[in-house]
Amino acid sequence: MIVRSKPGFWDVAFAVNGSILPRIAPHLVAIALISVLAIFAAMEHPGIFARISAVPFTLIGIALSVFMSFRNSTCYARWWEGRELWGKLIIACRSFARQISTLEDDDRRVLLRGLCGFCSGLTARLRGEDEVAAIKPWSEIDVASVGPNPTNAVLNQIGLHCLMLMKRDRIEPIHYAVLEGQLTALSDVQGGCERIASTPVPFAYSLLLHRTALIFCVTLPFALAGSLDWWTLLPVLLVAYTFFGLDALGHQLEAPFGSEPNALPLDAMRRGIEREMLALLGERDLPAPIEPRQNVLM
């Protein structure tokens, strides 16, 4: 996730780090070269593009802008839903930790470190990394019994430990039901995150937008070169920057749990949970919070 203060004039005019420009720079260079070719053709053969009117491009540009805005709104909704789910995860972890504050230290250690293992496993699962390796530092997990979903196995292990506490009369049945409610909330969060991660925006929907934006930006110079000469580069590159930039930004927001600069900072949120759980266990040597690197928080 991009972390920057409110941009001033210098940032708006010249900031590259944290912007979408590096991702779309090759596209802009290609459009600039096509524009130069169109300008030279118009200068060598005046009137060659006289029949190409700019009016259709105005109408197409308006329709494309509306279509692109709708797609970006859809992608941002996915991004925001992912952030809401991780907010619920943080709340459930804090609530669970508070509700077991009266247990013995050994039991609290098993349960709170289990929550850390669940968060680490979920982060790895959503990013396509090794779940078992992410869970092992926090929770003793039998690799042979985890099945296809090690993260859920950790949650099941926590639930079994709570059930054992109830059977041994260390907690009341109503206390167990409250704890089970928090585990159910964590399971809901995992299911919601998996739904977002495994259900991308339909490919045909995105492909239509990519092709339309590309065709529009490639043909626009030929409609303007005859009347604007070298000034053609200014509106063409501005339009290309806007369309390609919105397209690339939507692509990043579409996958909120990925490793792109505009993805959610799962590592930072996971580390925050780990610090809180370890602090509740009385540990003082806490892992350092994850800080932004070059204005990007992962």
Overall average pLDDT of the 6-16 stretch = 58
pLDDT at res. 11:
57
**Phi, psi dihedrals of residue 230, rounded to the nearest 5°:** -70, -20
pLDDT at res. 5:
62
Whether 3 shows a pLDDT value over 80: the answer reads no
pLDDT at res. 154:
93
Whether 135 shows a pLDDT value over 80: the answer reads yes
**Phi, psi dihedrals of residue 82, rounded to the nearest 5°:** -60, -40
Q: Give the whole-number percent of the chain exceeding pLDDT 70.
A: 92
CA distance 211 to 203: 12
Whether 223 shows a pLDDT value over 60: the answer reads yes
Overall average pLDDT of the 117-133 stretch = 94
CA distance 132 to 149: 9
| pLDDT level of residue 12 (50, 70, 90 thresholds) | low
| pLDDT level of residue 225 (50, 70, 90 thresholds) | confident
Overall average pLDDT of the 97-103 stretch = 94
pLDDT tens-digit series, residues 160-204: 999 999 999 999 999 999 999 999 999 999 999 999 999 988 888
Amino acid sitting at position 148 = P
Tokens at residue 173, please? 């049945």
CB 189 within 8 A of CB 86: yes
Tokens at residue 242, please? 């806007």
Tokens at residue 36, please? 């130069």
Interior CA angle at 194 toward 253 and 248, to 5°? 15
Q: What average pLDDT does the structure give for the chain?
A: 88
Overall average pLDDT of the 104-117 stretch = 94
Residue with tokens 């993260």: 151
CB 93 within 8 A of CB 273: yes
Structure-derived torsion over alpha carbons of residues 269, 116, 157, 258, reported in degrees to the nearest 10:
40
Tokens at residue 88, please? 């619920």
CA separation, residue 166 to residues 102, 155, 173, 175, 178 (Å):
14, 17, 6, 8, 12
Q: Give the whole-number percent of the chain exceeding pLDDT 90.
A: 52
User: Among residues 81, 70, 93, 79, which one has the least CA distance to residue 182?
Assistant: 93
User: Among residues 134, 130, 129, which one has the least CA distance to residue 117?
Assistant: 134
Amino acid sitting at position 84 = E
